[in-house]
Structure 1
Amino acid sequence: MRKSWLLGVMSLCFTAAFAQQRDSRIREYLSPVRIVWQQDSVQIENEHYLLLPGNGQADLSNSRVCVIRSTDTRHPALLLDFGKEIQGGIQFVTGMPASQKPVRIRVRFGESVSEAMCEIDGKNGATNDHAVRDFQLSLPWLGVAEVGNSGFRFVRIDLPDDSVELQLKEVRAIATYRDIPYKGSFRCSDERLNQIWQTGAYTVHLNLQEYLWDGIKRDRLVWIGDMHPEVMTVNTVFGYNEAVPKSLDLTRDITPLPNWMNGISSYSIWWLLIQRDWFRYQGDWTYLQSQKDYLIGLLKVLISKVDASGREHLDGMRFLDWPSNENPEAINAGLQALMVQAMKYGAELCSLLQEPELADTCRETEARLRKAAPEVVKPFLALKKKPTEPGMKQAAALLAWAGLMDAKEADQKYLSQEGGHGFSTFYGYYMLRSMALADNYSGALDIIRSYWGAMLDMGATTFWEDFNLDWLPNAAPIDELVPDGKKDIHGDFGAYCYKGFRHSLCHGWASGPTSWLTEYVLGVQVMEPGCRVLRIVPHLADLDWVEGTFPTPKGIVKIRHEKQPDGSISSKIEAPEGIVINK
């Protein structure tokens, strides 16, 4: 009896320990959709079998196998396309050649065709940083091997050794992701916008792993400042997801005050802004209370960085986004604006957390920051730079968002100049928001179509770490071999930390149009925490109709707007009990 009881206790302890480490993701196996390229194709037989659905099981029939043979002079290879970007690895199911020995292969993952075809040479940007994408392994005789953990769409397989035979029954990608529903949706009369909304949602879905990552090939990390556009997409598409508070808490716990999160002062500000917006959408009072001590401490650190005149003096790395990194006047103006937002949201959160004295201090500090803003902003406004040069639209967007610059002036002087030229994938979200503040919804939609849409035209299935419309002339898409005389849109461009093939083609911060289209075109604005009160005011611009859903903690809101012959909008809205809709 005693032994049975002890075994039961041990079993419970094991189960509890195991549950703490259980992966919340699932694995899905995908067969390739096409063979892009072959080397020494005469040495490859029945490669079409690789495109058939598989079951992941080696068998004795050996009837549907691709046979690849090398010689001392021929080393065959092939390049597979799995149809869309995924996060995960790859599975090989082998047959039974006569040698019965393991066969060595080389595997290269690529987010583009050209990345999968390249060498890591120290010049082209290709690396094995964060995730190994170029490696060799031995495949068993009549068995299954699974390997890899990266972001990719394309896989190149080489047979490097002389005089060997490889039999492949299957080569399948292993997609690893959270199996969660898309509670939010967006459809309108422009299919290009629909595809852009969906691509932004999918980009964040891939990065919504155990934590909310920056990218799935490189930067598989929690960069807290970069998370804000991602969190807004999570709010819009998935509703509550544990990865968001887990990521916020991880960064908090590894960053004791007065240190800056990720070593960047603005990123600690973004942590604060995310806390406010997460509570606004999800209304999780218990979670907000658990942040109280750190939040109060952070606000005090931020306040200490504002002098008596109201100018910020943030130390650490002074950063907005990479394209604005060489424009100190833009960075100074942008950080002043971010500090205004931090004090505004800080006062709001302190009032909720019953810290009235600190709330008053935040308001007083905000007032000083606003009073000093003209002197901080003046050097930026005096710059003899084109609006499309790095940092110009970024700073203008933050100034308009914080109310330090008239939104219409910011739009006309900077944001709308030359359309999407001068946009960045990260701060493009804030540029779009500021254009909405200027009531320029038509202009914002045109930029979404041309800027984010251009990535789709280049073969993207997820949005990129950075993108510049100036890269487009004479550029080949990512899903084809680059012809002679053409530019490689992946390998030939990029800057800072994303030069060449190091450039991530799946970065969650680029998802801004997804939440923006829901907020401003579908018209859903959260007015009270937990979405208790929503204000729904659509802006259809040149669209005939828009419909969609929006997740709240109390259920799904269904919305449809149609433009009438007289230009008015007819709306149909269905909301769950407990949600008040204002128009």
Structure 2
Amino acid sequence: MNYNRFLVLFCCLSLSENVLAQLPPIFDQARAQTAQSEATVRRFLSPVKILWSTGSIARSDQLLKPGNGQADLSGKGVCSLKSGATDKPSLLLDFGKELHGGLQLVTGQWKVSKPITVRIRFGESASEAMADIEPKQNATNDHAIRDMTVQVPWLGKLEIGNTGFRFVRIDLVDPDTELLLKEVRAIFTFRDIPYTGSFRCSDTLLNKIWATGAYTVHLNMQDYLWDGIKRDRLVWVGDMHPEVSTINAVFGYNDVVPKSLDLARDITPLPGWMNGISTYSMWWILIQRDWYLHNGNLDYLKQQKTYLVGLLNQLIQKIDEKNSEKLDGTRFLDWPSSENAKGIHAGLQSMMVLSLDAGADLCRILNDPETARKCDAAVARLKQYVPDPNKSKQGAALLALSGLVPAQTANKDVLAVDGAQNFSTFYGYYMLQAKAKAGDYKGALANIRQFWGGMLALGATTFWEDFNLDWVKNAGRIDELVPEGKKDIHGDCGAYCYVGFRHSLAHGWASGPTPWLTEHVLGISVVEPGCKAIKVQPHLEDLTFAEGSFPTPYGVVKVKHTKRPNGTIQSDISGPKEVRIIR
């Protein structure tokens, strides 16, 4: 077939069924439509800084300039890396903030038209990008390849990588070679969606914390709602709860949420537990309740009825004659509490109450009064037995939120002890929620500043899989090479499954302050499904003002709260006519 005939054929693909039937599968129309509907986009970003270099390198500052992704014959504006017999040049690039995606290298015209071998290392911290894969600090290629040796073409372009990173190290591997790099750009892959929710107040640290939580979740909104963009690129249902709370406060409806909830349901036939963890199936119920409350999509909720009712009946069977939970599967709240069996038991008892309460509400909406009655009866039984949290802030928070223990008691005896010590990135959200229920907004704001602000003080641009205030002592920043005598906060710290560099520095479950600040400082809470009624009750504490917006299915609600000299608050609120505002 000559070239002109091929063009005619290609232009007629959408018109001729006979032609379509003769083409190979790559031209299948349904598959092409699927490809066109992918949610993510790609943007190209140049590095903002060369953090380190060694060896013979010239014109490296050219790599900081915006590029066009096109090799050319001009020979202008190219960075030269020259190796000798044993000396090999390397450089470390900083792209300024955590990104999801890969790397594009555009090359120049060196003397011999053959590929050149380079080693590429991605890192969420500067020290991770400098690390080898070895056991000492646990740098890995788990879930996503961050350390690879590849060949780059002569006068061409190579795109590699699919991970979470901020830093990239490039090493010239071949000896006695000159590598010419016209451009090295990050391929930033993300959902191009507006931040319709917003938050701003008189404390710039809180503003940065709100935005960082929002951005952390945004990065994890990929094909599905992941928990981490470097490691744990999976749908972990419990981890989704704070993420979905953030999505509700920042983005409003996004199809990544029901898509991920449905995946978890479809790959977990009952009596299995989602992700093998009983609490994660219970978090699925709580997310369904919250998602319906914010979006009001009854048709979607009806699609969950069969599975939901089966799961609720399964949970009801997990109560013994002493009215105590007897859950099987992995007994897990979060990693920092995983060695406190009594604390976990208190948390599981509380999660049973929370999820069965939510299930009863959903069943009444779904016109299933019989299952709702069973759930109510089970909750009444569970409330007759109150476990000891054993000083676990995770367990105490859930006891307070479920009403098994007065929130003021849980806060005084456990949550408020030693400030943000023994907080965790995942369950910190529920600790903050319990403190709000106890009326301790001042203490919660102090915890946010100390704990999540502590990550920002170490150079974070996204919130981490875990963080421990004990790690901070004598620790270097993640955006610098660790100075002599300092601890590497990334490579030297971590625990459980996230020891050393395996530790994810962009984990969506750590975003809790974002929805918390919207709910309790801006004071916005949804009280009728589909945001048909919203209550606004701000708590400014030491702030002089707070303002922001909140997405609803009908448009954006805007609020501004200003503290008067006498301590009272002036509130200006506006929103769509379909949304009833309760003050």
Task: Judge same fold: TM > 0.5, yes or no.
Answer: yes
2:547 is the counterpart of 1:574:
no
2:39 is the counterpart of 1:28:
no
SS in structure 2 opposite 1:86?
strand
Separation of aligned partners in 1, 2:288 and 2:307: 11
Aligned to 1:59: 72
Separation of aligned partners in 2, 1:409 and 1:292: 37
SS in structure 1 opposite 2:211?
helix
Aligned to 1:114: 127
2:167 is the counterpart of 1:125:
no
Separation of aligned partners in 1, 2:54 and 2:356: 60
2:499 is the counterpart of 1:499:
yes
Amino acid of the structure 2 residue aligned with 1:458: L
SS in structure 1 opposite 2:383?
helix
Separation of aligned partners in 2, 1:308 and 1:20: 52
1:45-74 CA-partner distances (Å, limit 9, x unpaired): 100100000000000101110000100121
Separation of aligned partners in 2, 1:554 and 1:309: 47
2:460 is the counterpart of 1:460:
yes
Separation of aligned partners in 1, 2:71 and 2:35: 30
1:467-522 CA-partner distances (Å, limit 9, x unpaired): 01111111000000111110000011110000000000000000000000000000
Separation of aligned partners in 2, 1:451 and 1:34: 28
Aligned to 1:235: 248
Aligned to 1:72: 85
1:432-457 CA-partner distances (Å, limit 9, x unpaired): 00000011111111111111001001
Separation of aligned partners in 2, 1:581 and 1:14: 50
Q: Residues 120 and 5 (structure 1 numbering): CA distance in 2 closer, same or farther, change over 3 Å?
A: closer
Aligned to 2:382: 369
Aligned to 2:533: 533
Amino acid of the structure 2 residue aligned with 1:24: A
Shift of 1:307: 2.0
Amino acid of the structure 1 residue aligned with 2:305: K
- Give the 5 Å matches for 1:335-350: 335-350=348-363
SS in structure 2 opposite 1:225?
helix
Amino acid of the structure 2 residue aligned with 1:18: A
Amino acid of the structure 2 residue aligned with 1:6: E
Shift of 1:123: 2.8
Separation of aligned partners in 2, 1:61 and 1:228: 53
Aligned to 2:301: 288
Moved more, 6-15 or 466-475: 6-15
2:17 is the counterpart of 1:6:
yes
1:115-165 CA-partner distances (Å, limit 9, x unpaired): 000111123111101000000110000001000000000000001221111
Shift of 1:423: 0.3
2:307 is the counterpart of 1:312:
no
Amino acid of the structure 1 residue aligned with 2:541: A
Separation of aligned partners in 2, 1:246 and 1:20: 15
Unaligned runs of 5+ in 1: none
2:49 is the counterpart of 1:38:
no
Normalising by structure 2, we get a TM-score of: 0.96
Aligned to 2:4: none
Amino acid of the structure 2 residue aligned with 1:574: S
Separation of aligned partners in 1, 2:28 and 2:249: 38
Aligned to 2:485: 485
Aligned to 1:517: 517
2:148 is the counterpart of 1:135:
yes
Amino acid of the structure 2 residue aligned with 1:90: L
- Give the 5 Å matches for 1:372-391: 372-373=385-386, 377-378=387-388, 380=389, 383=390, 387=391
Shift of 1:577: 1.4
Shift of 1:399: 0.4
Aligned to 1:356: 369
Moved more, 21-30 or 542-551: 21-30
Aligned to 1:95: 108
2:415 is the counterpart of 1:415:
yes
Shift of 1:21: 3.8
Aligned to 2:406: 406
Aligned to 1:269: 282
Separation of aligned partners in 1, 2:75 and 2:402: 66
Separation of aligned partners in 1, 2:317 and 2:422: 34
Shift of 1:228: 0.1
Shift of 1:230: 0.1
1:308-344 CA-partner distances (Å, limit 9, x unpaired): 3321111000000000000000000000000001110
1:156-212 CA-partner distances (Å, limit 9, x unpaired): 000122111100000000000000000000000001000000000000000001100
SS in structure 1 opposite 2:362?
helix
1:7-64 CA-partner distances (Å, limit 9, x unpaired): 4775999333322244210001000000000122xx1010010000000000010111
Amino acid of the structure 1 residue aligned with 2:485: G
Aligned to 1:200: 213
Amino acid of the structure 1 residue aligned with 2:183: E
Which residue among 180, 183, 202 is the counterpart of 1:167?
180
Moved more, 114-123 or 169-178: 114-123
Amino acid of the structure 2 residue aligned with 1:514: T
Amino acid of the structure 2 residue aligned with 1:418: D
SS in structure 2 opposite 1:93?
strand
Aligned to 2:31: 17
1:387-414 CA-partner distances (Å, limit 9, x unpaired): 5xxxx11111000000111111111111
SS in structure 2 opposite 1:148?
strand
SS in structure 2 opposite 1:346?
helix
Separation of aligned partners in 2, 1:492 and 1:123: 9
Separation of aligned partners in 2, 1:210 and 1:162: 41
Aligned to 1:446: 446
Moved more, 319-328 or 411-420: 411-420
Aligned to 1:182: 195
Separation of aligned partners in 2, 1:315 and 1:239: 35
SS in structure 2 opposite 1:488?
coil
2:265 is the counterpart of 1:252:
yes
2:298 is the counterpart of 1:298:
no
Separation of aligned partners in 1, 2:393 and 2:174: 53
Shift of 1:256: 0.5
SS in structure 2 opposite 1:550?
strand
Separation of aligned partners in 2, 1:78 and 1:410: 52
1:332-361 CA-partner distances (Å, limit 9, x unpaired): 000000000111001000100111011000
Amino acid of the structure 2 residue aligned with 1:39: T
SS in structure 1 opposite 2:208?
helix
2:340 is the counterpart of 1:327:
yes
SS in structure 2 opposite 1:371?
coil
Amino acid of the structure 2 residue aligned with 1:209: Q
Separation of aligned partners in 2, 1:525 and 1:111: 35
SS in structure 1 opposite 2:72?
coil
Separation of aligned partners in 2, 1:403 and 1:539: 22
Separation of aligned partners in 2, 1:19 and 1:259: 34
SS in structure 2 opposite 1:357?
helix
Amino acid of the structure 1 residue aligned with 2:571: S
